[in-house]
Amino acid sequence: MRFVPFAAAAAFSMAAFAAPVMAAEATMGTPSGTLVMTAKSADLGVGYTWGDASLVFNHKTYHFSVSGAQIAAVGFSEVTSKGTVYNLHRASDFAGTFAAANGEATLGNGLGGAVLENKNGVRIKIESTAKGARLSAGGQGLTFTPK
């Protein structure tokens, strides 16, 4: 029963952050690409994320290393994400840092989502599945570096 407070907080976090992601989807526009990302996160207060991503844009696949940080996170998780990319006009506009205000709650297996945007106006709507025990809330940044 030690996990009951964590599970309750996780359930609240998912409900609190799911609505903004779904509302943002309605204003995204026409998709211009897709993204698949696998990453791991290790957190104790401030979190760190690392992994790999593949972007499909104009019938070509581009590979990226992913790194990032999250404020207010505790735990460890392995995440698989699929995303839809919007407002991408040139592949070079994708590289760089994307920011989001979102949250994740995972206990065992979990679901999550986020909308991220970079300085070029490129947006990614990400849907994630995670394994592990992790609770996070607050700002997140992910940096995509071409391989």
- List, for residues 77-93, the tens digit of each pLDDT value: 788 889 999 999 999 99
Per-position DSSP letters for 58-97, written without gaps between them: TTEEEEEEEEEEEEEEEEEEEEEEEEEEES--SGGGTSEE
Instruction: Quote the pTM value.
Output: 0.72
Per-residue pLDDT tens over the stretch 7-43: 333 444 444 444 444 444 456 788 999 999 998 877 6
The full set of domain ranges for the chain reads 4-146
The CA angle 140-16-18, to the nearest 5 degrees, is: 75
